[in-house]
Structure 1
């Protein structure tokens, strides 16, 4: 036996539906991808233990959230940071204060390959 459903829609629901149907949808808006910059940094080391200590300290600092890769190289540990452009100032100041003997490489922009010129 099927239960009968009321066919009448309450006014509160009808008003909510009406307000959502009045929203103007603009389909010609193109969202821009978030741009990031890659910053390579080499942590210089005198010994393997020193390199591990520097890397551990860096990963547990506020800068650890920006690290996307690490690689052991001949003269130290190379760390690659992915940073939002608005965070670059904070990142550089914190990096210089926490690891003063690091080599900071040049920035490389990432993001869409169809960027406007």
Structure 2
């Protein structure tokens, strides 16, 4: 006849009415976000959306939150983490060199504002 034993002695001695103790000293903080306005010039002889298509198919495509065509330009808004600013600017310059980089604004928490 086999004797039953607990596989893990930590759980055998722990009280069932107490929650388990977490041993992690890392507290995750949400990263600060920023909105970056980018203007893509759209010459009349160029195919519509060529530069926008290049931007959307680049690694920066995941950051695009809005795009709007106004006259001879396309205004794009990127929602980025502040620590990704260096990567974003380098990738933007190499992907769409004609892009005009606008102001960087800190994004407020939309949930708290409503």
Task: Provide the TM-score with structure 2 as the length reference.
Answer: 0.71
Task: Select the structure that is richer in helix.
Answer: 1
CA separation of 1:14 and 1:39: change in aligned 2, threshold 3 A: same
- Structure with the greater alpha carbon radius of gyration: 1
SS at match of 2:37: strand
User: What residue in structure 2 maps to residue 53 of structure 1?
Assistant: 50
User: What residue in structure 2 maps to residue 7 of structure 1?
Assistant: none
Structure 1 gaps, min length 5: 1-9
RMSD across aligned positions (CA):
3.1
SS at match of 2:47: helix
User: What residue in structure 2 maps to residue 108 of structure 1?
Assistant: 105
Shift of 1:35: 1.4
Aligned length: 102
Q: Partners of 1:83 and 1:98 in 2: how far apart?
A: 17
Q: Partners of 1:24 and 1:46 in 2: how far apart?
A: 59
1:67 to 2:72 alignment? no
1:51–1:77 Cα contact (<8 Å) kept: no
1:99 to 2:112 alignment? no
- Stretches (4+) displaced over 6 A: none
Q: Partners of 2:22 and 2:39 in 1: how far apart?
A: 51
